[in-house]
Amino acid sequence: MDVVDLSHTFTQFAETWSPKVVARLNDYEIKVVKLDGEFVWHDHPDTDELFLVLAGSLTIALRDGDVTLGPGQLYVVPRGVEHCPITDGLVHAVLVEPAGVVNTGSAGGPLTATYDDSLARP
Amino acid sequence: MDVVDLSHTFTQFAETWSPKVVARLNDYEIKVVKLDGEFVWHDHPDTDELFLVLAGSLTIALRDGDVTLGPGQLYVVPRGVEHCPITDGLVHAVLVEPAGVVNTGSAGGPLTATYDDSLARP
């Protein structure tokens, strides 16, 4: 595995709501994702999910209150907790979660992203 | 769990080579650590270990070559691979690894840090 330059990875794709695996840690994956606008309410019944914002402002709407993250701030959404990412403009974020987690969780729908590890070195 | 502001966490302690848990993700921990100088050669036989540098320059010496990380760059040391972190001045880094991993791994010795989750919210 090689060094991952997070800023560089964001120059390698344009699409939003489509996480890209950039590194692996045991059976976990480190992903980068561009977010813009409002996602869908969903949860991940079997896992926590870490959001780390590198650029922009991300609000994670939760049923009992919102959390807003700026650059250098992270939040872990507990397993089974419904959440909806909402941004005011473009956000660059890092996700950490077990391999195989789907972005829309149990909600599914048209924003469900295809698994993409094309940016990860073998 | 609350929002973790990574920059802020580094204002809350001074000691080096003493990782502090700031968040939990399933059975993994997110730690912040200040590094300065040369650590000890060691490995973690049972787990990969992620280093993300936020400030400064970190060289991870490996038996078959070195890796150098600057701000925004990450590297995953594979399980069982001997490594020795070396810095040129103070480094702020984030570690991601399973709960309970000890900083000196199988090497032990005087730089072995006490487990510290005093910065993590309950």
A45-104 per-position pLDDT tens digit: 999 999 999 999 999 999 999 999 999 999 999 999 999 999 999 999 999 999 999 999
DSSP 8-state symbol, A9: H
Asked if B48's CB is within 8 angstroms of A24's CB, the reply is yes
Secondary structure (3-state) at B65: strand
Q: How far is A22 from chain B (nearest CA, A)?
A: 10
- Dihedral sign for Cα atoms in the order B82, B9, B71, A89: positive
Q: Is the model's pLDDT at B108 over the cut of 70?
A: yes
Phi/psi of residue A8, nearest 5 degrees: -65, -40
CB atoms within 10 A of CB A112: 15
The residue written with tokens 């809350």 in the block is B12
Query: What pLDDT is attached to residue A1?
Result: 62
Asked if B97's CB is within 8 angstroms of A96's CB, the reply is no
Element containing residue A94 per DSSP (H, E): strand A91-98
Q: Write out chain B residues lying below 8 Å of A72, CB-based.
A: 5-7, 54
pTM, full prediction:
0.96
- The interface pTM score, or ipTM, of the predicted complex is 0.95
Which domains does chain A carry? 6-98 (2.60.120.10)
pLDDT grade, residue B122 (50/70/90)?
Answer: low
Share of chain B above pLDDT 90, in %: 96
Element containing residue B73 per DSSP (H, E): strand B73-77
Q: How far is A112 from chain B (nearest CA, A)?
A: 23
Phi/psi of residue B121, nearest 5 degrees: -75, 150
- Residues B17, B103: contact at Cβ < 8 Å? yes
Closest CB to A75: pick one of B3, B26, B73: B3
